[in-house]
Structure 1
């Protein structure tokens, strides 16, 4: 019986820790029309084929989205 209580307590503790706030997602929302990707390129030696290729502006939509 003690093993079941210990396992349940540990599971609840892990679940509570996993549901905590994520510090990365707590940042400010991007401005309208600003590029979504703001980090530097992975390889500075590689260049885009044309200006703005990897810095497309963000677009908000009013489309409905359902999760299953």
Structure 2
């Protein structure tokens, strides 16, 4: 069984090539923007982690259970 029973015309092949190249260019542009934004995102995540760790540390130091267990 033949998938296509006719060959594509020159203009159909040109349109297919243009659409393929457009898609590839969009993927490359998205990957470039993604990699460009990695470091700022990592910095924000690290800052959030530090703030959360400080918050938890303060809450654990202030809890009544920790005061009663200290000698």
Scaled to the shorter chain, the TM-score interval is 0.3 to 0.5
TM-score (norm 1): 0.40
**Which is helix-richer, 1 or 2?**
2
